[in-house]
């Protein structure tokens, strides 16, 4: 199927460098748009909910990924080392990295609070 789009000049300029990836970009965008709410953080909801509860410093330090989340992370790491990640998987990995960064900050602050006590 052939599709013609009218895009703002700045967006068109940005897209030119990805001309060979148009199909993958549109497919990834459609997956994001069609995905049920909250699915972007599948497996991470439990971690985010725990942090939203304002846990004690000790509870923050004990925070670990569920077995299913750890399995998915391992799967993505192995695939990245091998054949590489699809655009959707790369986006998923980026979300995991973002949440991991937040958890590390929370753990560092929790440890500082425990050391100060």
pLDDT score of 35: 55
pLDDT score of 26: 75
Per residue of the chain (117 residues), give pLDDT as tens. 887 878 788 877 877 887 787 777 777 666 655 655 545 566 677 788 888 888 999 999 999 988 888 999 999 999 999 999 999 899 889 989 998 999 999 999 999 999 998
Backbone φ and ψ of 43, nearest 5°: 90, -20
Q: Which residues are CB-neighbours of 46 under 8 A, at least 6 positions away?
A: 66, 69
The CB-based long-range contact list for 54-57 (8 Å cut-off, 24+ gap) reads 57/109, 57/110, 57/111, 57/113, 57/114
pTM recorded for the entire structure: 0.60
How many Cβ atoms are within 10 Å of 31's Cβ, its own excluded?
Answer: 13
3-state DSSP assignment of residue 2: coil
């Amino acid at each position: 199927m052939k599709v013609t789009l009218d895009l703002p000049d700045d967006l068109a300029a940005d897209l030119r460098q990805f001309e060979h990836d148009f199909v993958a970009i549109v497919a990834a965008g459609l997956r994001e748009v069609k995905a049920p709410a909250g699915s972007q953080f599948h497996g991470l909801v439990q971690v985010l909910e725990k942090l939203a509860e304002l846990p004690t410093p000790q509870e923050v330090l004990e925070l670990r990924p569920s077995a299913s989340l750890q399995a998915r992370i391992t799967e993505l790491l192995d695939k990245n080392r091998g054949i590489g990640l699809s655009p959707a998987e790369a986006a998923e990995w980026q979300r995991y990295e973002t949440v991991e960064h937040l958890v590390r900050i929370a753990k560092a602050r929790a440890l500082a609070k425990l050391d100060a006590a």
